[in-house]
C-alpha cells in the first residue's frame, strides 16, 4: 500500500531532506504541500492546513517541517482530523506540548513520530553495540557550527521556543541518549546569551553518569571554516570517535563506518513501519536534557550577535 502524505513547510530542510526522502521511497506519495510562500512543481499546494485537511481526506499522513513554535497547533489539527503525524525535531517548543500530542495520538488511534534524524545516521547501531560491554571513562560532545551558514535569515531560532544553539545541539543529545547503555542527567550548565537574543549561542553541559566518567558537551554557533560535529569516547577497552554528525565511526583509529546521508530516508522508513502497525515513537529524552540545561544553567550575557 502506498501512503499519501502531505508535507507542511517548504523551507530549506524540506527541500534538502524531506522531499528527496519521500519521493525516493516507494511506500509514499507526496500528494500535497502546505506553505504560505512556496510550492513544489507537480504537487498540489495549499496555503492553509485546514483547507488541505478538508479537501484531501484521502491523505493519511502529515509531515510537519516547520519551526517548533507553531508546530503544536498544526499537529493538533492533523491529529483531530485522524491523520498520522510526523514531527521534525525538536518535536515541540515545550515538553508539555509533546506529552499532550502523544496523549491525543493515543486517543485517536493514529501514529505520532517525534523524529530525531541524527539517531538514524549510519554509525548509530555499531556505536551502540560497541558501548554495551565497555565502561566509559571519558565522553565528550563537540558540536560547533556556523549559524549563518545553516540558518540563513531564520529569525525564529533566536526567539523563545526556538532553542538557539540547542537546535543543532539536540541532535548530539539524541545520539547520546540512543547509544549510551544507561541514562544520564545534567548536573551543571553554562549558557551564553547574546545581549540582543532570547536564546543561547553557546552552551557547556556536564552530566552525571553511573560510570563516574567525565562527561560533557560543548555547543557553539560561532564556528567559521570547517564545521565540527564529533563525539569522542574513551573506555576501558579502547576509544571510539563519531564524526560528521554520526555518519562516520572509527574505533582505535580504524574506520568502521564511512556513511552517506541516509538519515531522512531511514526516518521515513520508520514512519512507514509505525503507520503499518498503528504505533507511535515519542522519545523525549533529548528534549528533557535541553529543558534541564535551561533550568540548571548559569546564564552568561555576552556581546550582541548580528545575524
Provide the annotated active-site residues: 89
Which residue reads 521511497 in cell numbers?
25
List, edge to edge, every strand of the sheet that includes 84-87.
Answer: 44-46, 28-34, 3-8, 61-64, 84-87, 112-114
194 pairs with which residues across the strands?
302
3-state SS of 108-171? HCCCEEECCHHHHCCCHHHHHHHHCCCCEEEEEEEEECEHHHHCCCCHHHHCCCCCCCHHHHHH
Omega before residue 153 within 30° of 0, cis: no
CA–CA separation, 238 and 160 (whole Å): 42
- Count CA atoms closer than 13 A to 300's CA, side-chain side: 9
CA–CA separation, 21 and 42 (whole Å): 17
Among residues 199, 219, 193, 203, the alpha carbon closest in space to that of 159 is found at 199
Residues 6+ apart with CB under 8 A from 256: 123, 126, 249, 250
CA–CA separation, 186 and 292 (whole Å): 7
CB 203 within 8 A of CB 191: yes
Amino acid at each position: 500500500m502506498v501512503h499519501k502524505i502531505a508535507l507542511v513547510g517548504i523551507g530549506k530542510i524540506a527541500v534538502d531532506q524531506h522531499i528527496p526522502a519521500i519521493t525516493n521511497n516507494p511506500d509514499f506519495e507526496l500528494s500535497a504541500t502546505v506553505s504560505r510562500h512556496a510550492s513544489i512543481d507537480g504537487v498540489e499546494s495549499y496555503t492553509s492546513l485546514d483547507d488541505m485537511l478538508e479537501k484531501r481526506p484521502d491523505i493519511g499522513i502529515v509531515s510537519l517541517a516547520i519551526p517548533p513554535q507553531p508546530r503544536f497547533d498544526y499537529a493538533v489539527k492533523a491529529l483531530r482530523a485522524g491523520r498520522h503525524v510526523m514531527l521534525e525535531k525538536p518535536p515541540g517548543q515545550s515538553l508539555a506540548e509533546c506529552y499532550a500530542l502523544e496523549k491525543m495520538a493515543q486517543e485517536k488511534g493514529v501514529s505520532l513520530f517525534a523524529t530525531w534524524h541524527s539517531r538514524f545516521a549510519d554509525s548509530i547501531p555499531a556505536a551502540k553495540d560497541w558501548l554495551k560491554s565497555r565502561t566509559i571513562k571519558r565522553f565528550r560532545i563537540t558540536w560547533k557550527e556556523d549559524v549563518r551558514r545553516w540558518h540563513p535569515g531564520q529569525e525564529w531560532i533566536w526567539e523563545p521556543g526556538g532553542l538557539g544553539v540547542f537546535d543543532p545541539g539536540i541532535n548530539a543529545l539524541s545520539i547520546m541518549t540512543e547509544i549510551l547503555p544507561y541514562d544520564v542527567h545534567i548536573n551543571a550548565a553554562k549558557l551564553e546569551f547574546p545581549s540582543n537574543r532570547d536564546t543561547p549561542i553557546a552552551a557547556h553541559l556536564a552530566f552525571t553518569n553511573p560510570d563516574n566518567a567525565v562527561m560533557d558537551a560543548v555547543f557553539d554557533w560561532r564556528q567559521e571554516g570547517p564545521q565540527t560535529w564529533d563525539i569522542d569516547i574513551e573506555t576501558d577497552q579502547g576509544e571510539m570517535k563519531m564524526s560528521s554528525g554520526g555518519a562516520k565511526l572509527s574505533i582505535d583509529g580504524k574506520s568502521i563506518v564511512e556513511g552517506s546521508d541516509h538519515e531522512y530516508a531511514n526516518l521515513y522508513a520508520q514512519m512507514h513501519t509505525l503507520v503499518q502497525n498503528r504505533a507511535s515513537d515519542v522519545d523525549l529524552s533529548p528534549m528533557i536534557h535541553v529543558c534541564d540545561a535551561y533550568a540548571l544553567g548559569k546564564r552568561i550575557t555576552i556581546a550582541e550577535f548580528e545575524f
